[in-house]
Amino acid sequence: MLYSKDGPARFISHLDLVRTFERVIRRADIPAAFSMGFNPHSIFSFAAPLQVGIGGESEYLDILLKNEVPPEELYTSIGSVLPEGLCLKEVWRAPDDSPALMSLVEWAEYKVKVELEKQLSAGGLEGYIDSFLKQPGIVVRRKVKKGRVKNVDIRPGIYDLGGFIKDNILILRMKLKTGSSGSVRPGEVLDAFLEHNSLAVKPVETDIVRTGVFPV
């Protein structure tokens, strides 16, 4: 199924999102298949988890059912119990031999909005993007397990970067590596881009939306 995540739902952690969909499945009375063991839970999987604070326009979720239910019936029952900020867009039956969603995802597209402190021309932005992408490496510091920090070169995972200026709002569109390994975070790209070009932004919330996830 395809859904969007916006508004207050952007601030739901992935773990809380899992719990939310578990409740949705129960309330919608869907015949979901359950795992075995002492703590059985409904079996479903996401294409690629979102970071807290990032919206998603086209997010994918697989739900394993015990018996077949018409997609239009699922659409109605699930859509009627989704909380604010989660919106169901489409439901369809996946082939029985479909691989796991996460194994299919290779890259994602993001739209990032931030307000600049100083005016920047379209030509200036084009030069800044060109200079940024011409770097042989873009190293960021990333927190890993147990509070450790390591240096990561994200340049190989930046597939494309473009943007424009509107009313002093910088809008960047990014195509970034995502999936089970080597993922690049849009916030990392934004911070590195601003630092490389010595651009200052106003202290307001940065708007980041994932507009889609795509296979190899």
Considering only CA atoms, which of 178, 194, 192, 190 is closest in space to residue 138? 192
Looking at every residue in the chain, the average pLDDT score rounds to 93
Do 141 and 210 share a domain, yes or no?
A: yes
Residue-wise pLDDT tens digits, 190-212 = 999 999 999 999 988 899 999 99
Instruction: Note the Cα 95 to chain centre separation in Å.
Output: 24
Do 133 and 198 share a domain, yes or no?
A: yes
Q: Report the C-alpha gap between 70 and 92 in whole angstroms.
A: 8
Q: Report the C-alpha gap between 116 and 124 in whole angstroms.
A: 13
**Residue 43 exposed, middle or buried by CB count within 10 Å (0-12, 13-18, 19+):** middle
For residues 97 and 28, which has the higher predicted lDDT (pLDDT)?
28
- Rounded mean pLDDT of 141-163? 92
Q: Report the C-alpha gap between 138 and 88 in whole angstroms.
A: 37
- Per-residue confidence band for 25, with pLDDT thresholds at 50, 70 and 90: very high
Q: What's the total number of domains in the chain?
A: 2
Report pLDDT for 98: 83
Residue-wise pLDDT tens digits, 88-100 = 999 999 888 888 8
Percent of the chain at pLDDT exceeding 90: 80
Do 32 and 90 share a domain, yes or no?
A: yes
Q: Report the C-alpha gap between 204 and 105 in whole angstroms.
A: 32
Do 94 and 109 share a domain, yes or no?
A: no
Do 109 and 42 share a domain, yes or no?
A: no
Do 201 and 119 share a domain, yes or no?
A: yes
Q: Which residue reads 């939310």 in tokens?
A: 20
- Per-residue confidence band for 216, with pLDDT thresholds at 50, 70 and 90: confident
Q: What DSSP string describes 33-78?
A: -B--SSS--B-EEESSPPPTT-EEEEEEEEE-BSS---HHHHHHHH
**What's the domain range around 89?**
2-98
Give yes or no for residue 181 having a pLDDT over 80: no
- Rounded mean pLDDT of 176-183? 86
Rounding to the nearest 10 degrees, give the CA dihedral for residues 142, 109, 59, 141: 0
- Rounded mean pLDDT of 138-162? 93
Do 125 and 93 share a domain, yes or no?
A: no
Residue 179 carries which side chain, given as an amino acid letter? G
CB 54 within 8 A of CB 186: yes
Out of 98, 113, 132, pick the residue that ends a domain: 98
Do 10 and 92 share a domain, yes or no?
A: yes
